[in-house]
Amino acid sequence: MIPHLYARVHMPNGPVADALGQWASSLDSLPEHVVVAAWPGLDRYTLVGEQWAWTTGQWIEHLQDPYLEHPFAASPDGDRHAILHLEVSLTPGCRKLTRHEWAEIAHRLARTATIEIPAHQGQGARWVAFQALPGRLDLIANLITVDGTWHSLPEDVLDRLDAEARRIQQELDLVPPRAARPVPTATAQLASVLTQLADEHGGPLAAVRGLVEHAAHRTGPGTDAAHRLAWIARRVHSIQQDLERTAAVMGHPPATVVPPTAGRPSRRSP
């Protein structure tokens, strides 16, 4: 399971469109399986179950509402880029999850990122989790809370998310099955090297991405350097995913097609 935290943005339209894929422009209610979890405090402002029939536009409005309700709320750095986008992708080869399991993952990651907090501590931030794309969960939140304060994430939020993702992967048995091979071929060995390069927890690219994301955070949101560093981090993450897919293909090469043996021509009698 691979979590990725995007740089904060001002409007939710882009992250929502990225998360919903083919349903991004739909004017109808989203399919039942797409919205797997949402901010628990939403039940206080809607009829029972009403939000599960919302359209894409209504979810966008819900995430935008804090801007209208608290026009002066801003981050410690003075910006109003309150939209947070967390994407989690399953490792290729994992089993298919149920809607209940996706919901459990969404709530656990929301609590890990401190977006969702215990009821006695307040209402936390508004968020919604979409599962519209195969093997992927997108959690989108507005960091302006109900009382108008800005919710800052822990400095080690990426480490926390990585650790929680590993726990979820083990507890839900999301380790893809591995086929036994008596003697690894050269292609299989190369696939193993690519897998190590792309490894999210101990691979060199993961370390590079972490350093770049940290640099983007330290540079300060809204600056050109921060945007460039965030773009580089996303590109490194894409390279990791490409390497994983390539390694998976190399580890399962197509079967060799053997041409049929030509039969001996029959001899005709004169």
User: At 41, phi and psi to the nearest 5?
Assistant: -65, -10
Dist CA 175 CA 76 (whole Å): 40
Q: What is the pLDDT of residue 266?
A: 47
- Record the pTM: 0.64
196 closest CA partner among 186, 182, 185, 207: 207
Q: What is the pLDDT of residue 60?
A: 93
User: 3-state secondary structure string, the chain?
Assistant: CEEEECCCECCCHHHHHHHHHHHCCCCCECCCCCEEEECHHHHHCCCCCHHHHCEHHHHHHHHHHHHHHCCCCCCCCCCCCCEEEEEEECCCCCCCCCHHHHHHHHHHHHHHCCCCCCHHHCCCCEEEEECCCCCEEEEEEECECCCCCECCCCCCHHHHHHHHHHHHHHHCCCCCCCCCCCCCCHHHHHHHHHHHHHCCCCCHHHHHHHHHHHHHHHHCCCCHHHHHHHHHHHHHHHHHHHHHHHHHHHHCCCCCCCCCCCCCCCCCCC
Neighbours of 13 (CB within 10 A): 16
Q: Which residue has the tokens 């809370």?
A: 145
Q: What is the pLDDT of residue 270?
A: 45
- 128 Cβ neighbours under 8 A, 6+ residues apart: 35, 37, 38, 39, 59, 62, 63, 139, 140, 141
Give per-10-residue mean pLDDT for the chain (270 aa). 92 93 78 89 71 86 93 92 95 88 96 81 84 94 92 93 93 71 70 81 80 79 80 86 83 54 48
Q: Is 44 exposed, middle or buried (0-12, 13-18, 19+ CB in 10 A)?
A: exposed
Indicate the residue type of 51.
Answer: Q
Q: What is the pLDDT of residue 106?
A: 96
- Sheet strand arrangement including 126-130: 2-5, 83-89, 136-142, 126-130, 35-38
Q: Which residue has the tokens 């300060």?
A: 220
Q: What is the pLDDT of residue 188?
A: 77
- Domain 2-177 grouped into CATH 3.30.930: yes
Question: Domain boundaries in the chain?
Answer: 2-177, 184-254
Q: Which residue has the tokens 């519209």?
A: 132
